[in-house]
Amino acid sequence: MAVVLSSATLFGQKNASVSFEKWISLKGVGGPIISPDGKTIVYSMSSTDWANNTYDNELWMAKDGEAPLQLTRTHKNSTGNAAFTPDGKYVSFIADRGDKRQIYIISVAGGEAIQVTKDEDGINSYAWNPDGTKIVYSKPQPKSKKDKTKEERFGAFGVEGEEYQLTHLYLLNFSYDSVFLAGQLPCYSSKDTSKPNKDPDCVSLPVAKPLTEGNFNVGGFSWSRDGRQIAFNRQKDPLINSGITSDIVLIDVATKKMTTVISNPVGDFFNVWSPDGNAFVYSSLVDDSISNYYKNNRLFIYDLGTKKSVEIAKDIDENKSVSDWNKSGLFVGAFDKTKFKLYSVNTKTGATENVPIALDLPGGIVFSKKSDAIAVSGRNYTGLNEIYSWRLKQPLKQITNNSAQIKGWNTPVNEVIQWKSKDGAEIEGVLLKPKNYDAKKKYPLLVVIHGGPTGIDLPEPTPTYVYPIMQWVEKGALVLRVNYRGSAGYGAKFRALNVRNLGVGDMWDVVSGVEYLNSKNMIDTSRMGCMGWSQGGYISAFLTTNTTMFKAISVGAGISNWVTYYVNTDITPFTRQYLQANPWNDMEIYLKTSPMTNINKASTPTLIQHGEFDKRVPIPNAYELYRGLQDRGVPSKLIVYKGFGHGINKPKERLAAVWHNWQWFNQYVFGEKEEAMALDDKF
């Protein structure tokens, strides 16, 4: 059934001029790369594929001075992991075109993509060596004959902590002839088809050979500047909690000799080589395995000659990401409250200096290898993400016009506001108002709480996911998005304010934000709702059982009982770090911070949304909260999204989740009869 998205009259979406389908279907751009000569930028564009119930990512290309054009089309699957070949003539990428994830190349001059690999297990990621004659790629190890025999005899079972496949590196020799001529002649003898043809004119795709082997797992990896070595992250296995075992290893490509160069007691992670190849930047937890979830990350430069490390960028009180280290300098980025900033690092002193860039939120920043050209993705508060070309100290040149999608939309006005919490902590939030906001009126209020807790809410014109924020504002509500204690962007001390204070301090920050708006006579406190996903769902659940100020609450993938969470989640150390104990040693702190502790005080109508196979916040948390509310006679509904984990990552189920929230709050906050979900095609 076709879906028409342009009609202004929306069945079942009262007072909303943009349908949920059209809102979910917004295209996004990001992930730019730039050719060595700086003349061509390739980026990814995401779109919504309703027919296949998925999101599609394809590559687009913008040559210097020309309009962007679509470069790839992968039927029913996405294209990603783009890179320019070192000579700049081709773009390589990974796609599943019916033969698992393989590497392809496509000419920047146009034409069809050409397959480079045919690995029976598929490929995770890859990198070109500097002269373009080799590719290293990673892939999971296939099941052994012993494992297959065991499964055939005993069926399927798993031992906790032992269900994984190790990832290793493979080396592929590359030449254009090896892929252009592959398959043009049959590679078998006319007499014996089981043996390869020895005819030198027979060419098949090159076969990669193992580069690393052993009882360890390979993470990120990078070629040295001279192509003789590869740096990679080695940890004991690929499980998420094993990151703390990561060391940095150099492997000699010719001899396969491995040398461990960084091996602190806790995780070390390679970032980028220096321009001369004599040093590299890495991040490290050093010796911190008890607070790294909420402390700032640390960056170091390791000198291969002296074999010594020096810490850098200590003057940035935030988590830092490394953009590049090239002839123009070493560049890192970090949040500064609700803006993201780019910094250059003095590699001698480690001190940083802000690099001005005319964007509130620059994202990917990629430098060309042989020019001073730079590709940038990012946005200002009022627009969608765009792709730009740039040179340091020069104006940005916009390449895409992604924000044209929302031209004429009745988007909300975003305002960053501040207030003091119960304990005096300074809290910021993003307040969204309708364009026709009237200071003489009092508005219904909806509070939307981000996950993390080290996430952050930012001003944006079309906030998305499963909460129809834009439509609610147009309907006549204010929306407050709280950057509660623990959020990113406000420094290490702020992120630590909810250690042993989860839920409690977070509740103070939300409640004080509501009280601040009420003190300004902006809101109708008889019509308020609250919602959030993940950590935001946990805080919403805490508010359900500890306050009565909201008329309705929605708990998305939220924690209801820290003990239940602790014994089920895939990131158990998270709980131990924030509560600084396990439940057997300090049950009191687990009770203090768990929503279920005060379930007998709950009275707020609560919608619970959860993925069926969520490993991060396992679904017993949802059932526990639901059963407690049901036993109390509190109006409540549990909706399980079949086949999903921690996030709703398909458009149809996301549409359903949006509708579920729209119905719930319309009924309890706006006092409207529950609307039926639209089932026709008149949008």
Mean pLDDT by 10 residues, the chain (683 residues): 38 80 97 97 97 96 92 94 97 96 95 94 97 97 83 87 93 92 59 52 80 96 98 97 96 98 97 97 95 95 97 97 96 97 97 97 95 97 97 96 96 98 97 97 98 96 95 97 98 96 97 98 98 98 98 98 97 96 97 98 98 98 98 98 97 97 96 72 44
CA pseudo-torsion sign 267, 335, 457, 513: positive
d(CA 133, CA 49): 37
* 448: Cβ contacts below 8 Å, ≥ 6 apart: 457, 463, 467, 469, 479, 480, 481, 530, 531, 532, 536
Give the count of alpha carbons within 13 A of 275, CB side only: 12
Sequential DSSP letters for 423-460: TS-EEEEEEEE-TT--TTS-EEEEEEE-STTT------
* 515: Cβ contacts below 8 Å, ≥ 6 apart: none
What the block records as the tokens of 560 is 């209801």
CA pseudo-torsion sign 470, 471, 475, 481: negative
So what's the pLDDT on residue 185? Answer: 52
So what's the pLDDT on residue 677? Answer: 73
* β partners of residue 376: 365, 388
Rounded to the nearest 10 degrees, the angle between the axes of helix 535-546 and helix 504-519 is: 70
Q: Do 120 and 139 contact (CB within 8 A), yes or no?
A: no
The single residue listed with the structure tokens 């070109």 is: 128
So what's the pLDDT on residue 198? Answer: 52
Domain parsing of the chain, residue ranges: 19-144+167-213, 215-355, 408-668
Q: Do 66 and 83 contact (CB within 8 A), yes or no?
A: no
Interior angle at CA 297, CA 333 and CA 510, nearest 5:
85
The single residue listed with the structure tokens 């917004």 is: 26
CA pseudo-torsion sign 299, 302, 308, 313: negative
d(CA 556, CA 356): 38
Domain at 215-355: CATH architecture: 6 Propeller (2.120)
d(CA 386, CA 471): 24
d(CA 466, CA 24): 9
So what's the pLDDT on residue 61? Answer: 97
The single residue listed with the structure tokens 């439509």 is: 471
CATH homologous superfamily of domain 408-668? Answer: Alpha/Beta hydrolase fold, catalytic domain (3.40.50.1820)
Q: First-to-last CA distance in the chain?
A: 12
What b/e sequence results for 152-176 when a residue is b if at least 16 CB atoms lie within 10 Å of its CB, and e otherwise? eeeeeeeeeeeeebbbbbbbbebee
d(CA 86, CA 176): 13
CATH homologous superfamily of domain 19-144+167-213? Answer: YVTN repeat-like/Quinoprotein amine dehydrogenase (2.130.10.10)
Rounded to the nearest 10 degrees, the angle between the axes of helix 620-632 and helix 535-546 is: 20
d(CA 64, CA 548): 59
So what's the pLDDT on residue 683? Answer: 40
So what's the pLDDT on residue 3? Answer: 39
